[in-house]
Structure 1
Amino acid sequence: GTVAASHYLLKRGLLLKKFMSQRLISDYSTFVGASACFQCLVTGSPYPSVHWYKDEMLLEGDRYCVQEEQGGSHSLTIENLMQSDSGKYKCIATNRAGTAETCAVLTAPVFLKQVSDVEVWQGDVARLSVTVTGSPTPKILWFFSDVKLTPSSDCKLVFAGNDHSLILPYVGMQDEGKYTCMASNVHGEAACSAHLHVRQRVPGAPCFARAPDSVQCFLCTVSGTPVIEVAWQKDGTTISPSDHHKISKVENKHVLEISLLTTSDRGVYTCKASNKFGADICQAEMVIIDKPHFIKVLQSVQSAVNKKIRLECQVDEDRKVTVGWTKDGNKIPPGKDYKIYFEDKIASHFLPARTPTVFEEDRKH
């Protein structure tokens, strides 16, 4: 815009004139690291002296480039803008006829982080983000090909503090193009743009971009078009939401959470994703290790002299379980005379042919 002041004074028979106009550049976006230029045209008789101020302080230093050109054109350029450069700028022209001044406030919105180009697959989620600051707090608008975007199920506008994002939950080929974020307040506006590139996906059955791990929380990332239905199963039986089984979805990420685990939760879990083109599944096994319990205890044995003896017991768990044998409280090491086995949850101890002896078992895990 233009601000002008013009005064004429008749002094000692001479017409003294003071006049100054100021024009701010407005054809580019302002952001941290860019430059700002204040320009004004100064005339007067006698020709006035010109000085620049910020917040009533005379501007000095290498960061401030003050120039004067023929015809009375004056400019102040600030390179590599910082947030601290915000403030009130003033140009004062003085001659014997008096003083004229004009000022402008540099607090236009500033992009601390500009939006960047994004490339996603068709049917996936796209997120474009910026970080904006300004005083007063700027208003944020998003545009797609110069058309203003409004919140809807296909377009979410979210923010937290100075961080603003445009989220497209299910990107289609029609969403490809140029997106612009515009920030504005009473002092000015700034804008930045980026392109969303969409990679076309051949229609077909859904596929799992990430399969679940064998943990308490199962997470699957699913992609595909059109809309996908997801179901969870345990050992072939459909799982319904409950206090024990929490089923949730965030965008294309599907989660099954199992709380208060018990041994009954062990089994094979299946996540099935399907649409009209077909289905895909992925599976993971839930392994729950509990302390072993004897389901067949050691029995007393009677044997004739010089007969081999087999002592045997059975436990309900063999994962990470070790078995040891003792005689009269002393550990029996395996050797050529004593054969010790632990297979299929059955612990066996073979004694050579000799006088019968009573043994007891000491199990360790």
Structure 2
Amino acid sequence: GSRFKLYFDGMIHYLDILKVSKADEGLVRLFAKNINGEIESSAQLKVNPKQDYRSVLRSSKTGEPVYVPEELKQETSTELSSEERKVLDRLPLLKPFPKQQKPADTRFAPKFNKQLEPSKVTEGVVVLLSVEFLASPNPEAIWYKDGFQMQSSEDFFIEATATKSSLRIREAYKSDSGMYQVKIFNEVGIAQTKAYLTVTPADLDDLTPKILMDIKSVTCNSGDPVKFQSQAVGNPHPIITWYKDDEKLEMSQRIKEFTENDAYTLLIMESIAADSGCYELVAENAYGKVYTRAYLTVLGDKQIGEPEPIEVKYDDNNVRSVPLSSKFSQPVIQEALKDQTVTEGQSANFECIISNSEQATVEWFKEDKRIKQSKYFNMVSTGDKHQLNILEAFAEDEGLYKCAVSNPAGKTSSSAHLKIIHLTEAPVFVKTIDNAEVDENKPAEFGVQLKPDNQAQIEWSHNGVLVKEGINFQTENPSPGVYLLKLKQARPKDAGTYTCKAHNSAGTIKCSAQLIIKSMLKGSSESKPISSVLAFKNKFEQK
């Protein structure tokens, strides 16, 4: 307008007040904003009162006589009366009081040294928003989100000092996106700054824990220190748990765990035979769980210090008895189980040697389930040698296997992993079975051929009934991919349809052929196929 002028010279914004008045005194505030935020600055305007005409006349330098009314002359006369002079003569030592000066005003409104800036973060991370400022006296800071005042809490922690203020978001979510504002004010003025925070959804791969460094298997002598080290990351930071043989490992004076940033260490100060087994680090957060495994094999049993005395007890008949555990020795792993990798459908064999296990209890486990003796799982123990034979390994058999040996003196275990190579190609016939015609009581044979690299299970059936090996039927696999079904003596009941079925996890194929048995019928000089007679018999019975 006529009194207020606003202009911009390309760098600085100006507000000019052409004729200031007492009414203009007060707080002047400046706002600057765009789509990403808003800032504010303020200052005080003080207007001094206008001087009266007498002070203007006194400061006049023209030298010309100025007319002053008589009444003003009397009011402004500086001559002393005789009485006043007598008083001053009696008080020669009195001096006028010095004019007291007002102390300088050191107060000033808040000014930002560091303002809020727009931010873009991924969901799940910790967010820190902070500002720096100067003000006198010390100001107060208030934080806002989308115009609503925020209160300090566990999830949104607000902290303020004389020159700084910060807002920490413990874990950012999509709903935390918005305009964040902080106002700094004291009795002199106020300043504020705004900025937009954008929280983008995180990719699941960025949130789930990851093992950056696997723990390594260790073989050592009894009494040696053992250290397992790993590195894991996740968002949020994963919780780390250590296990031994699928049981949570309890920390003690001898077994300790250490954490430094993303590195995790398990330290066994002095190993013993009972420490042998499978060790596992599990990293888990709200988005998933991962693990890494390794095996510790403690060889021998080095005696440390003086052995503890054996407690000798006497029963009611004064008969001396020794604790049962003193008659046994701690089982010790001499040769640990080894990891196995087999193709689906093949057999797998685990073997370990554990000393002092002649009169011990031997058990085999898959993960945490005990394995029972069956035609598919055969467990054999010969002295200190223990074996587990899996007849045919399939996808569901993959996992961790453990041999546990225990006696009254203690227990130990050895673990290994079985990995199954899954078949990705269905079996393919190179040659199918052909129809056959044989005389009664003569041998017969059917054969098929698969691709040599095909891994498949072969089943033979006769008229839809599975053929079992016995005196008359035998199956053979003379070379890779070649499978035979042999009949030692073809009898009339063996005539019919024979089917060969080849299958694996990727698919199943079948092929069939007819067996015709020629037999001499009573009262006929020529032989007729048994299959024709059987067909007539079946048709007649149906009629």
TM-score normalized by structure 2?
Answer: 0.31
State which structure, 1 or 2, has the greater radius of gyration over its C-alpha atoms: 2
Structure with the largest fraction of strand: 1
Relative to the length of structure 1, the TM-score reads 0.43
Structure with bigger RCO (C-alpha 8 Å, 6+ apart): 1
